[in-house]
Chain A
Amino acid sequence: MADETILLGAVAYDAKVVPIWEGIREHFRGQHVPMDFCLFSNYERQVESLLAGHIDIAWNTPLAHVRVKRRTQGKSLSLGMRDSDRDFKARIVVRKDAGIKSLPDLHGKTLAVGSRDSTQARILPLHFLRAQGVDLSSVKLLPFDTDVGKHGDTGTSELDVLKALHEGRAQAGAVGDLIWVLEQAAGRVDTGKLQVLWTTPGFDHCMFDALPGANAAKLEAFKRGLFAMKWENPAHRRILELEGLKEWLPPREEGYASLTAALDEQGGW
């Protein structure tokens, strides 16, 4: 393999990851930017491979992104994100029959949460609840540690949270906004039983990360190729739809401040 080939890492959280990256590789080829990808089964292995220099770029979850930042003393390079990665939220959903009218009412109740590495269904909801004055030691947590290593990408633990709420095994639960809305749109939420109690502040999601010493020409070529993808181009659009975005955007770091604080507070590094 020629040296100028950009090697990108992504986590195979779903079968669609293969056509997505094959499509993007095809697009890069058309841009005369040699790129290839390798798939990891979990973000921890991907982060270690990036730090060891085995791959040039990692397509990271927020948790993987802030870990890379921390491990490089803030010097890692952020390359870009999806429009849909900005201003993510989480919802605290409650059973209507649980008598929970405000956040303090969560005390003494069971709160279902997602995987321990899910930003939207566990780490940040707990952080924001604490910031709102909820004493987490007096809330009984019902955790669903499914697909650990995938950082909540599969959404399985969030579906477990909704199931526990429907079945009455929990009176409250934390889920990402996207799952909450899509499950409702699919008609799978009983709105006679469940309702939203509270919505968290916004936070950002995935990011392309590279090491500070990375080959600058490769990174420039990567950004050029990435930002050349256009929604209006049907071949690009097919890939963008699969990856769940309309437009690739430049990076921004402020959307990860809450996650960094949450990991400090929870000892989650």
Chain B
Amino acid sequence: MTNAAIAIDTGDLPFGGGMLALVRPALDLLEPGGVLAVLTRQSHAIDELGTWCKVERHELLEATADQGGATRILLRKGSFGAPRGAIEDNLDLKPHGGRIEAADMLAAVPFAPSADPGTGFAPRGARVEPGGPVYPCTINDLAHAAPPDVAQLYDQAVSAQWNADTDIEWARIKPLPRPLQRALGQVFTFLAENELSALYVPSRFIARLHPHYVETAQFLATQMADEARHIDVFLKRARVGGGGVGISHATTSASLHSLLTLEDFTEAAFLLSVLGEGTFLDLLRYIEMHAPDEVTADIVRRARADETRHVHFGMSHVKHALSHDHTMYARLEAAVRKRSATLAGAGGVPYAVQDSLTILAAGGTDPAAVAKGHSAFRELMEVMHENRVKRLLNAGFSPAQAQTLSDLHTPNFM
């Protein structure tokens, strides 16, 4: 909406006592060059408005006596400091089922193909006064910043939040035999350590993401809130019922360190969410299946529902980037190879993780049961590989590429 001319009546408001509160918003609705007619009954205000126009680079065209002692002043709006962009007006977001979702907002105010770092934290759609600083965001284009379903994923994430203090039936947990309790403590130590990386890695990209694509930052914020809750609930589970946390392995540390040092948002989404968290889904399903009690199963089931959303976002992000930028295939493959080279010689699955997953599946230390546990663990490795290949094929990699990339994936799962 643009206006060529507007008329306002400022009554007997003094220049600095309310007149400007009517004049400035009216000028804001005009394009530079547009004319504002101001009716006033304040004699000094005419002169003061004239000085103000000089400072603000508007032009006072004329002041003429109107009937009844009022003065009619005509101003021509200048271009000095005029906010850039179209005036947003008459938006009327409609609730459906009592809700207004982020997806409704995105539909009303869609993403631009690219964003200007000079607009800073201006909300998408706002007109921006010139002269603000250039922000240090580096993810400034739609292809790398926001997949099409990001707002829906954010909406889903908001509705799916749960409470680690009150939603888990902590009082129902009973002490376990010591070896099983130690194994469970080790498993949750490993899960918490991996979730710490999943909390920290997205945080590095929020500050680089242009605020125009805020829905992605909002989704990442829910992802981080999810991870914070998982860390909380996993460590609580490790410490309820007479156990404690276990070992943090150097292999795990090296693997997670290689995620933390990634500089490219899409590469990080691919390695963390598609390959890492994707593999994690199989691990969480395994723990749920072999959980020693219903509360533990409930904890990992809830975590898996959250992680499924993260994988979905990661897949959507990567597919969106790949569809706009075909060089991404080679870049993502190179990222996997580079990470694999960094981790060369790190060995297989860290021993304490392997053993505790075996004991967990065995339900104890009875040798016959441990043999079954061992088979279950070996089967888990197979399932993880098969599902990684499926996800890579879904992302658009060739069967050969998918096979190779899955093989190169970290032995640390995440």
Q: Could you tell me if B57 and A181 are in contact, using CB atoms closer than 8 angstroms? A: no
Q: Could you tell me if B52 and A185 are in contact, using CB atoms closer than 8 angstroms? A: yes
Interface readout for B14-56 with A: 1 if CB under 8 Å, 0 if not? Answer: 1111101000000000000000000000001001100110110
**Which of A28-36, A112-120, A164-172, A192-200 is the interface stretch?**
A192-200
Q: Complex Cα distance A180/B80, Å? A: 21
Which residues of the partner chain B approach A195 to less than 8 Å between Cβ atoms? 14, 44
Q: Could you tell me if B16 and A184 are in contact, using CB atoms closer than 8 angstroms? A: yes
Q: Could you tell me if A191 and B51 are in contact, using CB atoms closer than 8 angstroms? A: no
Q: Could you tell me if B55 and A246 are in contact, using CB atoms closer than 8 angstroms? A: no
Kindly identify which residue among A182, A192, A199, A244 contacts B47, using a CB–CB cutoff of 8 Å: A199
Q: Could you tell me if B16 and A178 are in contact, using CB atoms closer than 8 angstroms? A: no
Q: Could you tell me if A178 and B44 are in contact, using CB atoms closer than 8 angstroms? A: no
Q: Could you tell me if B54 and A84 are in contact, using CB atoms closer than 8 angstroms? A: yes
Q: Could you tell me if A185 and B47 are in contact, using CB atoms closer than 8 angstroms? A: no
Chain A residue nearest to B53 (CB atoms) is: A181
Contact A181 to B51, CB < 8 A, known contacts A189-B16, A192-B17: yes
Q: Could you tell me if A183 and B51 are in contact, using CB atoms closer than 8 angstroms? A: no
Min C-beta distance of A238 to chain B, whole Å: 9
**Is A99 in contact with chain B by the CB < 8 A criterion?**
no
Which residues of the partner chain B approach A178 to less than 8 Å between Cβ atoms? 51, 55
Q: Complex Cα distance A246/B52, Å? A: 14
Interface residues of B in 259-286 (CB under 8 A from A): none
Contact A191 to B57, CB < 8 A, known contacts A181-B52, A196-B44: no
B interface, size bucket: 10 to 19
Min C-beta distance of B146 to chain A, whole Å: 31
Kindly identify which residue among A84, A181, A241 contacts B48, using a CB–CB cutoff of 8 Å: A181
Q: Complex Cα distance A246/B48, Å? A: 19
Q: Could you tell me if B15 and A181 are in contact, using CB atoms closer than 8 angstroms? A: yes
Interface residues of B in 80-130 (CB under 8 A from A): 80
Q: Could you tell me if B54 and A185 are in contact, using CB atoms closer than 8 angstroms? A: no
Which residues of the partner chain A approach B55 to less than 8 Å between Cβ atoms? 84, 178, 181-182, 244
Which residues of the partner chain A approach B14 to less than 8 Å between Cβ atoms? 184, 191, 195
Chain B residue nearest to A84 (CB atoms) is: B54
Which residues of the partner chain A approach B57 to less than 8 Å between Cβ atoms? 246
Chain A CB count within 10 A is highest, among B15, B51, B55, B80, for B51
Q: Complex Cα distance A199/B250, Å? A: 80
Min C-beta distance of B305 to chain A, whole Å: 52
**Is A187 in contact with chain B by the CB < 8 A criterion?**
yes
Which residues of the partner chain A approach B20 to less than 8 Å between Cβ atoms? 184-185
Interface residues of A in 228-269 (CB under 8 A from B): 241, 244, 246
Which residues of the partner chain A approach B48 to less than 8 Å between Cβ atoms? 177, 180-181, 184, 196
Q: Complex Cα distance A184/B48, Å? A: 9
Min C-beta distance of B80 to chain A, whole Å: 8
Min C-beta distance of A247 to chain B, whole Å: 11
Kindly identify which residue among B15, B47, B80 contacts A184, using a CB–CB cutoff of 8 Å: B15
Q: Could you tell me if A183 and B16 are in contact, using CB atoms closer than 8 angstroms? A: yes
Min C-beta distance of A160 to chain B, whole Å: 18
Which residues of the partner chain A approach B17 to less than 8 Å between Cβ atoms? 184, 189, 191-192
Chain A residue nearest to B48 (CB atoms) is: A181
Q: Could you tell me if B51 and A177 are in contact, using CB atoms closer than 8 angstroms? A: yes
Q: Complex Cα distance A184/B15, Å? A: 7
Chain B residue nearest to A186 (CB atoms) is: B16
Which residues of the partner chain A approach B18 to less than 8 Å between Cβ atoms? 191
Chain B residue nearest to A182 (CB atoms) is: B55
Min C-beta distance of A11 to chain B, whole Å: 22
Which residues of the partner chain A approach B16 to less than 8 Å between Cβ atoms? 181, 183-185, 187, 189, 191
Chain B residue nearest to A246 (CB atoms) is: B57
Between-chain CB contacts (< 8 Å), 8 pairs: A89-B51, A184-B16, A184-B20, A184-B48, A189-B17, A199-B47, A241-B80, A246-B57
Known contacts A189-B17, A196-B44; 15 additional CB pairs below 8 A are A84-B54, A177-B48, A181-B16, A181-B48, A181-B52, A182-B55, A183-B16, A184-B17, A184-B20, A184-B48, A185-B16, A191-B16, A196-B48, A199-B44, A246-B57
B interface list, Cβ under 8 A from A: 14-18, 20, 44, 47-48, 51-52, 54-55, 57, 80
